[in-house]
Amino acid sequence: MVLPNSPMPMVEDVYVQFMRKYFPQRSTGCQNRLVLPRTTQIVIEDGFEGLVHRLCEPWDLHGLSTKRTGQSVCWPQECEIIKERIRHIVGIPLEPEPLYTPSGLEETPTCTDAEEGEVVYITNKASSKHFTFSRVGGSAQPLTQAAVNLNRQDNTLIFEARFECGNLQKVVKVGERDYNLTLHTDLYTARHTQWFYFQVQNTRKAVPYRFTIVNLTKSSSLYNRGMKPLLYSSKDASEGRLGWRRVGTHIRYYRSTCRGEGRQFYSLTWTFQFPHDSDTCYFAHCYPYSYSDLQDYLLDVATDPVKSSYCKTRVLCRSLAGNMVYLLTVTNPSENPEAAARKKAVVLTARVHPGESNSSWVMKGFLDHLLGESADAHLLRDTFLFKIVPMLNPDGVIVGNYRCSLSGRDLNRRYRSLLKERYPPVWYTQKLVKRLVEERVVLIYCDLHGHSRKQNVFVYGCQEHGTMSSYVNQRVFPLMLSKNCDDKFSFPSCKFHMKREKEGTGRVMAWRMGVVNSYTLETTFCGSTLGNKRNTHFNVRDLEVMGFHFCDTLLDYCDPDQSKYTQCINQLKNQMKEDIAAKMGIPGAAYDSDAPLSDILSCIESSTTGSNSSESDEPPLKLVGKECAKFPRKQNVVKRRKQLKTKGERETSYLIRKAMGAEKHHKVQC
């Protein structure tokens, strides 16, 4: 909220003294009166203990600098960072990359004690338990020697991961060409080891190497469904324009016999032969997309005279480390204010979980199409007002976290939090959605994610107990998306539960505010089981195409010709009747469409999630009372004894009795 023309009483005395000292010409000649200039430099914000007055930052800080000198990237002060920026070309594979088919000969490497083997790489990313402060470039101390053996005459591989998005903590050489790798947990936590991204040098051509990551924490993985790690060869990129590609044999994800700190770990092992001698290669869990990559993209948009006319880039807020969280406003200029106010809003966010880099590539495809010059892109910008936050968690992306921010918490469980200073990206996003809902109709809210356990692309939506109409309306947009992208998007995989532990997510937050179409779009790290893409990996082009299909579905959903919409409505109603009838064992025609659905709807869908938070997502004890003050929970709840029938069973019996009663009444009438 910006202060009116005159300052507030509480700051007036200071302001008057300042003006009298430096601008005496502003006085009117009257001894007791000072004419103050109009000002918008003082801002009133909601603070923890009430309204807080502060000076505005210069407007230049709220836009994207168009200087080609590169934007500053802030790191926690204890992080050691190499000066070289790592860059990759996209390089789409010419042929589909099939999933790995187990041969049955995959071996399980023996667990090696910490004292055994030769440590060839080790680094500590954080020395403190909590984030303190940041600086550009990380630690001011000289770079330590993380690679223990730098003798290139030796056959030992040289590892490095102290760059943006990199994650590798320790490497132990346990055989001539056998390496055990340990990943960093998310900064300031003891959990979340999934994302890996590291550099390998001093390679030998056509020699089999085995890599084993020993401290993964998830009990299941897409690597058991045929997913392969990603490789990038610098020589292949420079000579043949070949970028990231899926590689590896003897791939296995298994329960490790090694234990650390009393916890059960899981291991991923694969074997690979490098294509060149003395090459610089990279391995990654998914296609990297860094904060610097996003800044480069936004800089290209800001310096394009056409795109910058309808895409305004501003700073939503700053992260804990001081990195800018960008907000894009995309729409064509309207003829008059009334026409602009009638535009429905579409809100998209991505990368709240930093290790889900595939969501950034979907977002890039969405922006490429939306900012293009096609007739559909013009129509989208004429019809909607787009608010886009392409990277909600830049700090986590920069340091190579998988799930958390520098607060050590999952931001996608913090949309209900009052702690603006601790979780600024989601706090400001919540305020953005709230303001949009008050100003206009918000047609769709969608948060882009990646999924580590299921294949294909699908959505999680919101649905409480209601009638068939409310049940169906939530599913129209996902069904349309599945028809437009039938080789990637799986409608049967979509779920619309609202579990208690998901109350703090972005989609539930927006739905509670009145956004009917509120979704989490989940894109697998692996590949598809559908159509022409069956049993193949998704590449960067496939991910970008998903963004295009999202735009295309927006136009179908709002098409004045409602034939597609009506077709989807009828299909959903018929499918729902069949599902309920199958569960209840009665004819679908006997089901009353206006009856409350309640828990029987939960029986129709099986609940499978792959992105639950761990205990490390809970706030510190000293903050629990403050953070949850706005949403108190019931205390001293007495656990009830288990009844003979569950609620779902009782509801099913009730619906069966009601349906049978309706059928009996129909026979009497006849």
Looking at the annotation, which residues are catalytic? 522
CA distance 430 to 486: 33
99: burial class by Cβ within 10 Å (0-12, 13-18, 19+)? buried
- Inter-CA distances, 105 with 108, 206, 251, 323, Å: 10, 20, 10, 48
List the beta bridge partners of residue 284: 197, 230
CB 387 within 8 A of CB 406: no
SS3 label, residue 550 = helix
- What's the token pair of residue 1? 């909220």
How does strand 178-182 pair with strand 170-175?
antiparallel
Return phi, psi of residue 474, to 5°: -65, -20
How many CB atoms are closer than 10 A to CB 444? 22
Secondary structure of 474-542 in HEC code, one letter for each residue? CCHHHHHHHHHCCCCECHHHCECCCCHHHCCCHHHHHHHCCCCEEEEEEEECCEECCHHHECEECCHHH
How many CB atoms are closer than 10 A to CB 573? 15
CA distance 203 to 278: 5
Radius of gyration in angstroms for the set of CA atoms belonging to the chain, rounded to a whole number: 28
- Which single residue is written with the structure tokens 């030769």? 118
Q: Which amino acid is it at 126?
A: A
CA distance 456 to 509: 25
CA distance 14 to 225: 67
CA distance 118 to 149: 10
CB 410 within 8 A of CB 354: no
Q: Which amino acid is it at 140?
A: A
The candidate with the shortest Cα–Cα distance to 344, out of 436, 431, 429, is 436
Triad 51, 55, 59: Cα angle to 5°: 125
- What's the token pair of residue 343? 């535009």
CA distance 103 to 456: 24
The candidate with the shortest Cα–Cα distance to 554, out of 384, 359, 387, 328, is 384
Return phi, psi of residue 466, to 5°: -170, -160
The candidate with the shortest Cα–Cα distance to 251, out of 274, 272, 237, 234, is 272
CA distance 133 to 104: 50
CB 434 within 8 A of CB 337: no
SS3 label, residue 145 = coil
- Which single residue is written with the structure tokens 């470039």? 137
CA distance 596 to 652: 11
The candidate with the shortest Cα–Cα distance to 81, out of 182, 160, 194, 148, is 160
How many CB atoms are closer than 10 A to CB 659? 21
Q: Which amino acid is it at 283?
A: F
